[in-house]
Amino acid sequence: MRNRWIILSIAIVAQIASVAALFGVAFVLPELQDTYGLNVAQAGTLAGLPSLGLLLTLLVWGVVIDRWGERFTMALSLVLTAGFLALLGTVDSATGAATVLALVGAAGGPVNAASGRLVLDRFHARERGLAMGIRQAAQPLGVGASAAILPVAAGQWGFAGAMLVPALLAVVTTPLVLLIASPGRTARHPRTVETDGAASGTGPAAGGGEPAHADLRTATAPESTGGADADRPGVDRDVEPEGTASSGRPLGDADPDDTGAPGRAAPARGGSGDTAPVAGGDSGGITAPVRGGSPYRHGAIWRVHAISMLLGVPQFAVMTYALVYLVQEHGWTASAAGAAIAATQVPGALSRLLAGVWSDRVGSRLGPVRVIAAVSGGALLLLAAAPAVLPGAAVPLLLACLVLSMSHNGLTFTAVAETAGLAWAGRAMAAQNSLQAVSTTLTPVLMAGVIHWQGLGAVYGVAAVFCAAAVAAVPRRAPGGTARA
């Protein structure tokens, strides 16, 4: 199976199964309490254990992805996840359930990173934002589906029975994952594609700019003898480096939908050591890693990680306290508040898709992130002030913040993958998930102090500060493609 859109569809289903397994416990807390005789705090602690297991194993899974590929890793993860979920029916103590839930998280983590690497490998840069946005939409869709299905299943079959639903989905998806064909030409250790900006130390490889959108499916940089396309209308030099065919693919690269033998890339010429320059490069100077080379020796990827961590704070803070805010501050019932929050997952998923399309059109991943962060920060400030100034606007603002706060994920994830290059993509995306998990783990600790000293409404004002910090962290680009403050 080589059609990239079918492969993307399979990746989405696998992602939904993984999300339901990792985060579905939160939607069956009453049955979890009844099964093991727990109070709310204890049950909540157990619900967070899959995230702990995920955090502890993601980097190891990243190495597995880069070493053995996406298909093997995703299939193994889905099988192990289903097996551990099935074990929940055999344990009769809270300690046993805690152990199994941690194992579920440890097994389920790599699907997100592996499916992201599939997108990086099979989609051209001008489609990659859209494709990654679609794939990232699987996360809110998985949460929404869990919120809708698992409580009903738990009412019928209990806690362990309800958790068999994501297990069944994982089992059904595994054969489809195994049908995914390997790409026509694997670039496990692609050569560096370096632009003049990187060579001079002014581009993002030096820590200053935004990653360019190079096509990372080639094992070598194509030969280029001039800059004719550099000024040709319709060619975005950040998206389509010099030396690409008229189809938008690098010279010698096979169409990922073709089943025939792939073409042969023209040998790289010029440059020194392990790098090959790209002619006409005005792409900001990003480099793809070479054999043995690490993108973490440069500042660009750390900047993207930092932006993602900063924006993870408002995203998790808004989601965590939304239900409590609606119930305590506005007198909603818990069921009505839960339904409203679940309903925001659909526009949230759509926002990720549209953000991906936006980034493809403008040829920038982090530019749209800056705008999203600024708008989110403004909405959060309005929400913090609404109870005193305009109480009737508080609920609509909260729902808007729920959508806005999740809109950036696909863009930062894509930026990390493109900055790392294909050979390091699995590890880089696993690191991205790990660092986001650190951010979301620390957010409740920070916000607990804010609530204690200033009250629940102050959470949104503090979250806006992190949005402002993310805006400041996003590099600004001059028209020539270099970074500016």
Print pLDDT tens along the chain (485 aa). Answer: 568 888 888 888 999 999 899 888 877 878 888 899 887 667 767 887 887 888 888 778 888 887 888 889 999 999 999 999 999 999 989 999 999 999 999 998 888 878 877 777 788 877 777 787 787 778 878 887 887 788 888 888 999 999 999 999 999 999 999 988 665 444 443 333 333 333 333 333 333 444 444 444 433 333 333 333 333 333 333 333 333 333 333 323 333 333 333 333 333 333 333 333 333 332 333 334 444 478 888 888 888 899 989 998 898 888 777 877 887 788 887 678 778 888 888 888 888 888 888 888 888 888 899 999 999 999 999 999 988 888 889 999 999 999 998 888 878 878 887 888 777 877 787 788 778 777 766 777 788 788 878 888 888 999 999 999 999 998 875 333 333 33
- Judge if 1-186 and 192-225+268-485 fold alike in CATH terms: yes
Domain ranges of the chain: 1-186, 192-225+268-485
Q: Find the angle CA(130)-CA(131)-CA(133) to the nearest 5 degrees.
A: 65
Q: Find the angle CA(82)-CA(8)-CA(371) to the nearest 5 degrees.
A: 110
DSSP-based helix, strand, coil % in the chain, nearest 5: 70, 0, 30
| Whole-angstrom distance, CA of residue 284 vs CA of residue 248 | 20
What is the CA 166 to chain-centroid distance, rounded? Answer: 20
| Whole-angstrom distance, CA of residue 482 vs CA of residue 280 | 14
* Neighbouring-strand partners of residue 332: none
Classify domain 1-186 by CATH number. Answer: 1.20.1250.20
CA distances from 485 to 128, 210, 412, 472, 476 (A): 27, 12, 19, 9, 6
**What sign does the CA torsion over 35, 39, 40, 46 have?**
negative
| Whole-angstrom distance, CA of residue 369 vs CA of residue 225 | 35
What is the CA 426 to chain-centroid distance, rounded? Answer: 12
Q: Exposed, middle or buried by CB within 10 Å (0-12, 13-18, 19+), for 178? A: middle
Q: What is the pLDDT of residue 201?
A: 38
Specify the DSSP class assigned to residue 365.
S
Q: What is the pLDDT of residue 441?
A: 67
* Rg (alpha carbons) of the chain, rounded to whole number: 23
The total number of residues written for the chain in this structure: 485
| Whole-angstrom distance, CA of residue 16 vs CA of residue 13 | 5
Q: What is the pLDDT of residue 273?
A: 34
Report the first-to-last Cα separation within the chain, whole angstroms: 45
| Whole-angstrom distance, CA of residue 309 vs CA of residue 38 | 32
Q: Checking phi first, is residue 252 left (phi over 0); if not, alpha (psi -120 to 50) or beta?
A: left
With CA atoms as reference, report the closest residue to 359 among 115, 119, 128, 112: 128
* Neighbouring-strand partners of residue 244: 250
Q: What is the pLDDT of residue 381?
A: 94
With CA atoms as reference, report the closest residue to 309 among 434, 429, 206: 434
Query: If residue 117 lies in a helix (H) or strand (E), which one and from where to where?
Result: helix 110-122
Q: Is 162 helix (H, G, I), strand (E, B) or coil?
A: helix
Question: Is the CB of residue 369 less than 8 Å from the CB of residue 406?
Answer: no
| Whole-angstrom distance, CA of residue 396 vs CA of residue 455 | 20
Question: Is the CB of residue 361 less than 8 Å from the CB of residue 238?
Answer: no
Q: Is 71 helix (H, G, I), strand (E, B) or coil?
A: helix
With CA atoms as reference, report the closest residue to 213 among 196, 231, 195, 201: 195
CA distances from 437 to 55, 131, 234, 319, 417 (A): 6, 23, 40, 15, 18
For the beta carbon of residue 360, count every other beta carbon within 10 angstroms. 25
b/e for 403-421, b at 16 or more Cβ within 10 A? bbbbbbbbbbbbbbbbbbb
For the beta carbon of residue 458, count every other beta carbon within 10 angstroms. 14
CATH topology of domain 192-225+268-485: Growth Hormone; Chain: A; (1.20.1250)
Q: What is the pLDDT of residue 183?
A: 58
